Amino acid sequence: MNKQTEDFMKTNAPAQNGSAAWAEVGQSHPHESAILHVLGEATYTDDIPEAQGTLHAALGMSQKAHARIRSINLDAVRSARGVVSVLTAADIPGTNDCGPIIHDDPILSEGLVEYVGQPIFVVIADTHDNARRAVRKVVIDYEELPAILTPQAAHAAKSYVLPPMRLTRGDAQKAFETAPNRVSGQLYVGGQEQFYLEGQISYAIPKEQNGMLVLCSTQHPTEMQHVVAHALGVHSHNIVVECRRMGGGFGGKESQSALWAAVAAISAAKLKRPVKLRADRDDDMMVTGKRHCFHYDYEVGYDDTGRIVAARVEMVSRAGFSTDLSAPVATRAVCHFDNTYYLSDVDIKAMCGKTNTQSNTAFRGFGGPQGAIAIEYIVDEIARNLGRDALDIRKLNFYGRNDEEGRNVTQYGQKIVDNVIHELVAELEATSEYRQRRAAVEAFNASSPVLKKGLALTPVKFGIAFNVTHFNQAGALVHVYTDGSVLVNHGGTEMGQGINTKVAQVVAHELGIPLELVRVTATDTSKVANTSATAASTGADLNGKAAQNAAHTIRQRLAEFFAKLHNGDAKEVTFSAGAVHLGEHSLPFGELTQKAYLSRVQLWSDGFYATPGLHWDPKTMNGRPFSYFAYGASVSEVVVDTFTGEWKLLRADALYDAGQSLNPALDIGQVEGAFIQGMGWLTTEELWWNKDGKLMTHAPSTYKIPGISDCPQDFRVKLFKNRNVEDSIHRSKAVGEPPLLLPFSVFFAIRDAVASVGGNRFNPPLNAPATSEAILKSVDAVRALAAAKSNAA
């Protein structure tokens, strides 16, 4: 932990919610399971003791990208060691579908396969290894069909999973006609594997009267409940889904855990025995979707100062073979194309290309990073064309401060009332010594022919809420026991991000008791029903508010009871430091709960919260889809070896707006993790399919996520001191997804270093991920442009 972080934790624990000096929110408490994580005692789905008679399942997967199955011979599979049963789509008693929005995603193929890795059948055996060995013995005769593998090919063939989207504002064509300057081009940004440490897993245990308990590593227990119920042909009340914690999710366990839950439950229901389906890493990566890669065609008009006056972009994503969550991902990309910049006249199109690859899905940022990086690439080009520092062009195009010049309304019609990007960037520019370091980088490059340094400062504006309005709701249960201890259950899921810690802090603060008296239990559809996914950075916002609502109800009951004991006013009763106070009267919280119980005061309550003020019209793509915006900025300095394309991040400075942070330690950790994860997406994590449509980067040996050696030795992360203008939980702001956009600065610092090879006169053609190979190609391209210019002169 760096000194800035330590200083922040010491000084940034504000008293909130009317309390005096005492507070449980705003404190840097450790993660509630931190000790369990370190000791290896945290229970994940695969750690749960197996019930007697448990069987193990494995998936038989397609070896073709697009084909009809002429015949399938499972005789050798059925006779393999330990095999108990083999199931196909014909054995599914209910609906053969696990699509979250559109029903185009079969659990098991019914004769048509649409990507390499698509599940066709299930083997259930006595052991995990025996099941995996058996699936390989299948003999399938395929009739191969033409396959589409890239978003560009899908766009050319007009192959989409849903109709194209379009958002316009003003008159872009007219604005282009009068624009003094134009820049146009293409950009490709690759996808990304979630690479959670714990793979996909579900454990289904049959119960009486067609009941089923599904222990599942999932971000969306309620959706798993629905999918399993539909697959089994039973009502939702027959299915209970439970998740204590995940070993990471990052969006990959929002909708795509459904396949694994459904297969385990179908197998368990068929055999009347518990069945576990655990994916090995290779199978996991072959079957599941990733972050959508995007291809862009763009054109922007700008004046001689660098201010954007017109923008046109066509974005095509690789949706994969089915729709999954591609529609909301594309919508968020459209809504985040502006990032922090006011765009007066725009024409934005988004297409979701249908390809014969894994069906891509949610990933931290959910389309926001893919939308925002395009405008950042464009601004970077404008700056180089004008011979100016990109930071100056960025600042020139920022949204106005509140009503300044009317430049505070987004392209989708939402008014920005909380813009702090000017102040935040100014602070980071000063604390990172950006201007001095810019001069030092230029001096270094002038005297270094091989190693080149690059520097970039990039901003972030990220909208917080689900695109779909009705998902913005949450429920909670709070139980207070007679010894003063508290048990909380809420609809959010814990995937390491610390939602349970924050919710516990909120409840402890509301009841005025120490955090150690509050415990949060596993997410369970039989306790809090109809929950939304823990996604869209809304987990703590929604579930914190719901838990606060439940705790407040109990607090009011106890206040009225205590006031009645002393003939006082309930409004004057306060709760703090583990005790309840009214004038000169004081009583430990545990003693009060005992007395309240003896007087038959209800000591439990449910709570509910729905985010107010949200609305969205998907036809016009206008409305107020976000409750508020989170802001941030980062500065990165890199050095690039122009002979090999290798590079190193020397220093990173990040400043993030978490509002009035619920837990600074957790929030800083989330910023640090998101930065490195986003950096991996943009630099090292390359997904590659061969000509036959097989994903070749399907294991740690071929897919490179960042390691500890990729982290900068000088890593300075700080939270911007701010207070949410919206009535969020204790005026905090979300910290899950927005920080993933901070490492844009790494990508553009690399591009800055490459541009220096040509004297910063040419825009390097650099796509993401900027692997060493891509960097070297970009260096060669800049050298060729410089040589051509020199020869022409």
Q: Are 735 and 655 in contact (CB under 8 A)?
A: no
pLDDT in tens, 534-560: 999 999 999 999 999 999 999 999 999
Question: In terms of residues, how long is the chain?
Answer: 793
For the chain, what percentages of helix, strand and coil (3-state, to nearest 5) are there? Answer: 35, 25, 40
pLDDT at residue 508, as a whole number:
98
Phi (first) and psi of residue 350, to 5 degrees: -135, 130
Who contacts 12 (Cβ-Cβ below 8 Å, separation ≥6)? Answer: 26, 661, 664, 719, 721
pLDDT at residue 18, as a whole number:
37
Q: How far apart are CA 442 and CA 448, in angstroms?
A: 10
Q: Which of 299, 376, 381, 737 is catalytic?
A: 737
Cβ neighbour number for residue 436 with a 10 Å cutoff: 9
Q: How far apart are CA 338 and CA 399, in angstroms?
A: 9
3-state per-residue secondary structure call for 552-579: HHHHHHHHHHHHHHCCCCHHHCEEECCE
Q: How far apart are CA 785 and CA 598, in angstroms?
A: 84
- The reply to whether 737 belongs to the active site is yes
Amino acid at the residue 569: D
Who contacts 67 (Cβ-Cβ below 8 Å, separation ≥6)? Answer: 112, 113, 142, 143, 144, 145
Q: How far apart are CA 96 and CA 107, in angstroms?
A: 5
pLDDT in tens, 559-582: 999 999 999 999 999 999 999 999
Cα dist. 85→81, 233, 262, 271, 274 in Å?
11, 21, 16, 8, 13
Residue with tokens 């990109």: 390
Q: Are 337 and 375 in contact (CB under 8 A)?
A: yes
Q: How far apart are CA 13 and CA 11, in angstroms?
A: 6
Q: Where are the alpha helices (DSSP H) in 432-524?
A: 434-447, 499-511
Q: Count CA atoms closer than 13 A to 545's CA, side-chain side.
A: 20
The structure's pTM equals: 0.96
Strands in 119-125's sheet, in edge-to-edge order, are 83-87, 119-125, 55-61, 275-278, 201-207, 211-216, 239-243, 523-524
Q: How far apart are CA 480 and CA 245, in angstroms?
A: 23
Angle, CA 734 vertex, CA 728 and CA 738 arms, to 5°: 145
Q: Are 636 and 711 in contact (CB under 8 A)?
A: no
Q: How far apart are CA 533 and CA 539, in angstroms?
A: 8
Angle between the N-to-C axes of helices 664-683 and 744-755, in degrees from 0 to 180, rounded to the nearest 10: 40
Q: Which residues of 363-400 are buried (b: 16+ CB within 10 A; e: fewer)?
A: bbbbbbbbbbbbbbbbbbbbbbbbeebbbebbbbbbbe
Q: How far apart are CA 399 and CA 429, in angstroms?
A: 18
Q: How far apart are CA 316 and CA 333, in angstroms?
A: 11
Q: Are strands 55-61 and 119-125 parallel, antiparallel or unpaired?
A: antiparallel
Which residue from 3, 25, 96 is spatially nearest to 666, judged by alpha carbons? 25
Q: Which two tokens stand for residue 484?
A: 């003063």
Q: Are 656 and 717 in contact (CB under 8 A)?
A: yes
CA of residue 738 relative to chain centroid, distance: 9
Strands in 647-656's sheet, in edge-to-edge order, are 451-464, 628-641, 647-656, 714-719
Q: How far apart are CA 360 and CA 354, in angstroms?
A: 10
Which residue from 35, 6, 19, 92 is spatially nearest to 581, judged by alpha carbons? 19
Assign 534 to helix, strand or coil. coil
- What are the helix and strand counts (H, E) for the chain? 20, 29
Q: How far apart are CA 60 and CA 10, in angstroms?
A: 55
Per-10-residue mean pLDDT of the chain, 793 residues long, equals: 40 39 93 97 98 98 98 98 98 98 97 98 98 98 98 98 98 97 98 98 98 98 98 98 98 98 98 98 98 98 98 98 98 98 98 98 98 98 98 97 80 96 98 98 98 98 96 98 98 98 98 98 98 98 98 98 97 97 97 98 98 96 98 98 98 98 98 98 98 97 96 97 97 98 98 98 98 98 94 82
Secondary element (H or E) of residue 368: helix 368-386
Indicate the burial class of 264 (C-beta count within 10 angstroms; 0-12, 13-18, 19 or more): buried
Q: How far apart are CA 399 and CA 751, in angstroms?
A: 25
Residue 544 β-bridge partners: none
Amino acid at the residue 330: A
Cβ neighbour number for residue 571 with a 10 Å cutoff: 10
Q: Which two tokens stand for residue 336?
A: 């985040």
Cβ neighbour number for residue 180 with a 10 Å cutoff: 10
